[in-house]
C-alpha cells in the first residue's frame, strides 16, 4: 500500500496480557509516529521518534511503551490494558519531523481489549 506495514492487523487481548504491535517502513524515512484512532474522536498522536530518539510523549499512560530500535522499525508494547484502550492503532512515518513534511500511514492494528 504505502510502504508502511503493521502487524498484526487484528489483536484481541485480555486485560492481563502482554502483547506488542510492530510497524516497519520501507520509505527511508527518519521519523515515525504512533496514533490512536477511536470512534467519534479525533486522531490522537501518542509518540514521536525522530532519528530513533523519542521527541514526543503526549501524556500517554505507562501501560503503552514504545520502542524504536532503528529508523525503519517501531514497536508499541502493551500490558495491563483497559477496555477503553480498544481502538485502531496507526503507525506513520515521514522524511523527518519538520512541520511541512506529510506523513505516510500503515493500515493499522485493530485492538480489542476484553
Partner 1 sequence: AQSVAQPEDQVNVAEGNPLTVKCTYSVSGNPYLFWYVQYPNRGLQFLLKYITGDNLVKGSYGFEAEFNKSQTSFHLKKPSALVSDSALYFCAVRDSKDNYGQNFVFGPGTRLSVLP
Q: Which residues contact partner 1 by CB under 8 A?
A: 1-2, 4, 6, 31, 33, 41-43, 45, 48, 50, 55-56, 58, 90-92, 94, 97-100, 102-108, 110
For the chain, what is the total number of helices (H) and then of strands (E)? Answer: 0, 11
Closer by beta carbon to partner 1, 62 or else 98: 98
CA separation for the pair 30, 24 (Å, rounded)? 12
DSSP 98: -
Nearer to partner 1 among residue 1 and residue 84 (C-beta): 1
CB nearer to partner 1: pick between 71 and 103: 103
Beta strands 44-50 and 109-113 are unpaired
Name the residue among 87, 76, 95 with its Cα closest to residue 31: 95
Q: How far is the CB of 61 from partner 1 (least distance, A)?
A: 18
Smallest gap from Cβ 98 to partner 1, in A, equals: 7
d(CA 58, CA 25): 22
Instruction: Provide, rounded to whole angstroms, the least separation between the CB of residue 99 and partner 1.
Output: 4
Query: CB 96 → partner 1: shortest distance, Å?
Result: 9
Amino acid at each position: 500500500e504505502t510502504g508502511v506495514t503493521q502487524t498484526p492487523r487484528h489483536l484481541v487481548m485480555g486485560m492481563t496480557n502482554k502483547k506488542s504491535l510492530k510497524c516497519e517502513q520501507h520509505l527511508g524515512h527518519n521519523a515515525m509516529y504512533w496514533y490512536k484512532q477511536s470512534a467519534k474522536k479525533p486522531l490522537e498522536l501518542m509518540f514521536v521518534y525522530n532519528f530513533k530518539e523519542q521527541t514526543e510523549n503526549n501524556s500517554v499512560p505507562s501501560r503503552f511503551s514504545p520502542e524504536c530500535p532503528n529508523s525503519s522499525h517501531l514497536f508499541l508494547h502493551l500490558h495491563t490494558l483497559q477496555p477503553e484502550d480498544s481502538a485502531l492503532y496507526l503507525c506513520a512515518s515521514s522524511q523527518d519531523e519538520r512541520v511541512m513534511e506529510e506523513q505516510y500511514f500503515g493500515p493499522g492494528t485493530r485492538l480489542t481489549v476484553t
